[in-house]
Amino acid sequence: DVKVTQSSRYLVKRTGEKVFLECVQDMDHENMFWYRQDPGLGLRLIYFSYDVKMKEKGDIPEGYSVSREKKERFSLILESASTNQTSMYLCASSFPVVAPSAEAFFGQGTRLTVV
Amino acid sequence: DAKTTQPNSMESNEEEPVHLPCNHSTISGTDYIHWYRQLPSQGPEYVIHGLTSNVNNRMASLAIAEDRKSSTLILHRATLRDAAVYYCILRRGNTDKLIFGTGTRLQVFP
């Protein structure tokens, strides 16, 4: 059974803390993605990685950074958490879009609350 | 990135066919048309994708207009479990990005 696993389902952090959200996939996918989902705004892409140590900014990268040291792991880092980063965070992975099987698989999500 | 336009919401009765439209008038030749859906309290799941030809799988059918400026996701017999937000997405062949819009919320009534 294919899997994208996010390290926490729920997190509560204080304003100003450095926060790490971890995502691991076991499908040998080249692509990995981080999104946040807020009511009325849908899923917005934060960062995207197409290979180890390679990354591209998405639509809303401000206040976030990412790390991809190994193919299976993609970390989202909030350098100094703020209350407006309270959200549901979703990780996904996929093969390249030109591959025969290019569908993205999503993790179960991490609901982060910054107080 | 090329944009897609979908109705905010649609309704269907159980066991009826559902046609979910998507407009993508600025699509380019390398853009793949992907559909995902998100059930309540879950992450999105893949439904179907295509490039130029119509596609069928066990979940749905995808009908792509000849000029590729629009597509329609067809659920042949809606069930209560199909109630979800359906996203139509263009994936550019040379970037691999996956950009979601706000989707169509489908309600299915018994």
Place A105 in a pLDDT band, splitting at 50, 70 and 90.
very high
SS3 for B80?
helix
B21 touches chain A (CB under 8 A): no
Q: Pick the range with the lowest mean pLDDT from A23-27, A46-50, A53-57, A94-98.
A: A94-98
- Predicted confidence (pLDDT) per residue in B39-56, tens digit: 988 899 999 999 999 999
* Cβ within 8 Å, pair B96-A103: no
Contact criterion met (CB below 8 Å) for A29 and A46 = no
Do the chains contact at A42 and B101, CB–CB below 8 Å? yes
As given in the structure block, the two tokens for residue B59 are 């979940």
Q: Say whether pLDDT at B63 is over 80.
A: yes
Facing residue for A48 by CB, picked from B87, B93, B97:
B97
**pLDDT on residue B29:** 86
**Confidence check: pLDDT of A79 > 70:** yes
Chain-chain contact of B97 with A44 (C-beta, under 8 angstroms)? no
Percent with pLDDT over 70 in chain A: 97
- A94, A101 in Cβ contact below 8 A? no
Residue B102 has its nearest CB partner, among A30, A42, A96, at A42
Q: How confident is the model at residue A102 (pLDDT cuts 50, 70, 90)?
A: confident
Q: What is the mean pLDDT of residues A12-17?
A: 97
